[in-house]
């Protein structure tokens, strides 16, 4: 039984005892008072009447008349005179009880002692007189007094109960706040509450607030340390750009990912004759030149979306981008900026630039061969030259055709959810990861999101597509009972009505079905729509829906209050786990990140597992689940 219920029970028992006690005492007092008064009346009337009868000189007729007269004018049940010669003069009437319930008359009987007196005339004893007054009036008065006492006692009890309610509510408010604070901690939300006025409760609240602050600080400090470990494991120590392993792991994941970009560019920038520069200007000046290339790349690409920067070796820098409209203009601007920087640092230094276009699903080996060819041609052209090699064919359909095809695909529900298993360390199925594919051309192939996502975004169809995917997943769950995960595009969160519409869709299915649904959103949502993500987590938690991040990687530890969002799971991007068997430092950094997330109650899953030899090491890092081409379900 809860503490509040125990307090209420104590208050209720106390009020009932007080009410019953006061009522019983009041009833007993009134009952005793009426009996005493009635007894006193009997005695007084017996004495008065005996004096009157004694003055009649023993005249029997006069005595009878006097008794009859007294009996008729008063309220008596019985008047009896036992004469000394053995005769009896008696008058009696039945007890009259008007307006009193029979049950009360039986329970609370007013029994007064009869009045007794000796009747004498001079020295002669005439007899003994007994007077019994009518008790029905006392019974009626007792009933009325009892009713008044009950009403007054009830009012006092209600007033006491109201006062107890105010006091309990005053106690319950800080207790509820403390309980809510504890529940929030379980949901990875760290909140502080106002300190109550009650000293005992204030001590509890102060302790809880202090604990919450300590836990929040502890997780924040761990996030800072993990970010430092990530940079040491994945970034070039001089420039801060991604190192070769991390850059190519991310590029490979982008080319293979179901919802990756459809196309983009890979640019290599090479610093010419590094050994000669180092001999001519020295080690420190050379490092300054290398850092200036990295800084210029970061500055030039700061406004681009989907851009990745890396330092592949001592002389080569790489830029991968999926949102660049004019690579020619960007390359010209970059080379111009570098020429100005080198004029200040070392006029003899120079770079060249090679660019290759890529498309989704393209083998990375083919892409690298293409961009190496472009870089070699640029070197043959001379200093600050650039060369472009296009490996991407023009799309068959124009933007208008894409838009019309997508509208019809959504309207006619020409779509399918591809199912990839996510398993736990025991090889059992956690859920099915279900990316959406659309049939844009009637009778054509079902295309992955990488092919149509850009056009759907420009046509403002992503909200409708995501809702269609949710409905289809729920219908599949209702049919076979298997849990499924559905992706929600980051751009969908631009729709202010999406969350409310989504909740309506979920409420249309039963909770046993809805609680088997997993929502996953891209990591970038924590940067662009954090408040909407919090709203989604809060409103779907009551329905039992799991909400998590997918493709988590570089920006994960930079999210302010990541564990306070209340996410159920996080899927680490394939670039984070790919080929970890070959990199001990990156593996240790990944294990530390997983331990940190799991300490906050978050389930951690590895994406894009392609090599069977990595699986055992992934489990050693503490992951709760894996998915990818190398994953197989047991049983």
pLDDT tens figures, 587-620:
888 899 999 888 888 999 999 888 888 888 999 9
Measured CA to CA, the distance from residue 120 to residue 442 in angstroms comes to 131
Mean pLDDT rounded to a whole number for the chain: 84
**pLDDT grade for 199, boundaries at 50, 70 and 90:** confident
Question: What is the rounded average pLDDT of the residues 548-565?
Answer: 83
Interior CA angle at 242 toward 241 and 244, to 5°? 125
| Structural contact between residues 293 and 317, judged by C-beta atoms closer than 8 angstroms | yes
Task: Kindly calculate the radius of gyration of the chain based on its CA atoms and give it in whole angstroms.
Answer: 47
User: What is the per-residue pLDDT for 428?
Assistant: 92
Checking if the pLDDT of 526 tops 80, the result is: yes
Tell me the three state secondary structure of residue 537: helix
User: What is the per-residue pLDDT for 3?
Assistant: 63
Measured CA to CA, the distance from residue 54 to residue 554 in angstroms comes to 122
Question: What is the rounded average pLDDT of the residues 268-275?
Answer: 91
Exposed/middle/buried for residue 450 (C-beta within 10 Å: 0-12, 13-18, 19+): buried
Question: What is the rounded average pLDDT of the residues 324-348?
Answer: 86
User: What is the per-residue pLDDT for 188?
Assistant: 65
Q: CA torsion, points 515, 516, 517, 523, in degrees to nearest 10? A: 90
Q: Where are the domains of the chain?
A: 3-159, 239-389, 399-627
Q: Provide the pairing of β-strand 569-572 with 603-606.
A: parallel
Q: 332: which 2 tokens?
A: 């010209």
Checking if the pLDDT of 170 tops 50, the result is: yes
First-last CA distance in the chain: 44
Query: What CATH architecture applies to the domain 399-627?
Result: Alpha-Beta Barrel (3.20)
| Structural contact between residues 517 and 484, judged by C-beta atoms closer than 8 angstroms | yes
**pLDDT grade for 394, boundaries at 50, 70 and 90:** very low
**pLDDT grade for 4, boundaries at 50, 70 and 90:** low
**pLDDT grade for 396, boundaries at 50, 70 and 90:** low
Domain spanning 3-159: CATH 3.30.450: yes
Checking if the pLDDT of 393 tops 60, the result is: no
Measured CA to CA, the distance from residue 161 to residue 322 in angstroms comes to 70
Question: What is the rounded average pLDDT of the residues 434-456?
Answer: 87
pLDDT digits (tens, 9 = 90+) for 33-84: 878 888 888 788 888 888 887 777 777 778 788 888 877 777 778 888 888 8
Kindly give the residue spans of alpha helices, DSSP state H, lying in 429-554. 449-458, 462-480, 498-507, 511-514, 525-528, 530-541
pTM of the predicted structure, to 2 decimals: 0.69
Measured CA to CA, the distance from residue 64 to residue 58 in angstroms comes to 11
Exposed/middle/buried for residue 613 (C-beta within 10 Å: 0-12, 13-18, 19+): exposed
Question: What is the rounded average pLDDT of the residues 12-25?
Answer: 76
**CA-closest candidate to residue 113, choices 136, 143, 141, 133:** 133
User: What is the per-residue pLDDT for 518?
Assistant: 94
CA 111 → CA 34, 90, 139, 174, 192, distances in Å? 9, 20, 10, 57, 68
Q: Domain 239-389 falls in which CATH fold?
A: Alpha-Beta Plaits (3.30.70)
522 C-beta neighbours (distance < 10 Å), count: 20
Measured CA to CA, the distance from residue 41 to residue 47 in angstroms comes to 10
User: What is the per-residue pLDDT for 187?
Assistant: 66
User: What is the per-residue pLDDT for 48?
Assistant: 84
pLDDT digits (tens, 9 = 90+) for 350-374: 999 999 988 888 888 888 988 998 9
User: What is the per-residue pLDDT for 635?
Assistant: 58
pLDDT digits (tens, 9 = 90+) for 413-423: 888 899 999 99
């Amino acid at each position: 039984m809860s503490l509040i219920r125990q307090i209420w029970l104590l208050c209720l028992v106390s009020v009932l005892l007080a009410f019953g006690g006061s009522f019983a005492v009041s009833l007993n007092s009134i009952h005793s008072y009426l009996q005493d008064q009635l007894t006193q009346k009997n005695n007084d009337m017996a004495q008065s009447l005996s004096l009157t009868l004694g003055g009649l000189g023993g005249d029997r007729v006069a005595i009878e008349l006097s008794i009859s007269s007294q009996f008729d004018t008063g309220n008596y049940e019985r008047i009896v005179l036992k004469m000394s010669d053995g005769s009896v003069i008696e008058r009696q009437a039945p007890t009259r009880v008007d307006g009193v319930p029979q049950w009360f008359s039986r329970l609370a009987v007013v029994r007064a002692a009869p009045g007794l007196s000796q009747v004498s005339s001079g020295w002669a004893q005439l007899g003994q007189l007994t007077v019994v007054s009518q008790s029905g009036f006392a019974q009626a008065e007792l009933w009325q007094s009892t009713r008044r006492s009950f009403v007054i006692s009830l009012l006092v009890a209600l007033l006491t109960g109201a006062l107890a309610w105010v006091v309990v509510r005053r106690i319950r408010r800080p207790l509820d706040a403390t309980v809510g604070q504890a529940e929030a901690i379980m949901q990875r939300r760290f909140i502080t509450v106002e300190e109550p006025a009650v000293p005992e409760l204030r001590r509890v609240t102060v302790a809880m607030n202090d604990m919450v602050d300590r836990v929040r600080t502890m997780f924040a400090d761990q996030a800072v340390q993990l970010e430092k470990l990530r940079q040491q494991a994945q970034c070039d120590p001089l420039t801060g750009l991604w190192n070769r392993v991390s850059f190519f792991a991310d590029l490979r994941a982008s080319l293979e990912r179901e919802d990756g970009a459809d196309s983009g560019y890979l640019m290599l920038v090479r610093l010419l004759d590094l050994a000669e520069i180092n001999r001519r200007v020295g080690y420190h000046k050379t490092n300054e030149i290398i850092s200036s290339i990295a800084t210029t790349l970061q500055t030039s690409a700061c406004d681009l979306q989907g851009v990745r920067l890396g330092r592949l070796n001592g002389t080569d820098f790489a830029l991968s981008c999926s949102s660049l409209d004019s690579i020619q203009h960007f390359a010209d601007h970059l080379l111009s900026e570098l020429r100005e920087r080198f004029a200040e640092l070392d006029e003899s230094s120079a770079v060249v630039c090679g660019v290759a276009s890529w498309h989704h699903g393209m083998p990375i080996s083919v892409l690298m061969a293409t961009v190496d060819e472009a870089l070699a041609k640029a070197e043959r052209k001379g200093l600050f030259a650039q060369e472009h090699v296009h490996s991407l064919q023009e799309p068959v359909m124009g933007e208008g055709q894409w838009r019309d095809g997508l509208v019809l695909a959504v309207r006619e529900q020409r779509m399918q959810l591809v199912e990839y298993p996510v398993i736990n360390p025991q090889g059992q199925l956690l859920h099915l990861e279900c990316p959406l594919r659309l049939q844009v051309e009637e009778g054509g192939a079902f295309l992955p999101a990488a092919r149509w996502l850009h056009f759907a975004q420009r046509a403002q169809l992503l909200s409708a597509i995501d809702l269609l995917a949710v409905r289809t997943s729920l219908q599949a769950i209702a049919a076979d009972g298997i849990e499924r995960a559905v992706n929600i595009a980051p751009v969908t969160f631009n729709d202010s009505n999406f969350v409310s519409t989504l909740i309506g869709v979920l409420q249309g299915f039963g909770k046993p079905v809805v609680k088997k649904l997993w929502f996953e959103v891209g990591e970038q949502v924590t940067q662009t729509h954090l408040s909407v993500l919090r709203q989604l987590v809060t409103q779907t938690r009551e329905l039992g829906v799991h909400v998590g991040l997918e493709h988590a990687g570089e920006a994960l530890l930079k999210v302010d209050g990541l564990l306070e969002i209340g996410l159920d799971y996080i899927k680490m991007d394939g670039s984070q786990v790919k080929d970890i068997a070959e990199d001990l430092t990156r593996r240790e950094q990944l294990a530390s990140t997983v331990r940190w997330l799991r300490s906050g109650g978050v389930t951690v899953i590895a994406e894009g597992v392609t090599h069977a030899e990595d699986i055992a090491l992934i489990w050693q890092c503490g992951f709760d689940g894996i998915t990818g081409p190398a994953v197989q379900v047991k049983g």
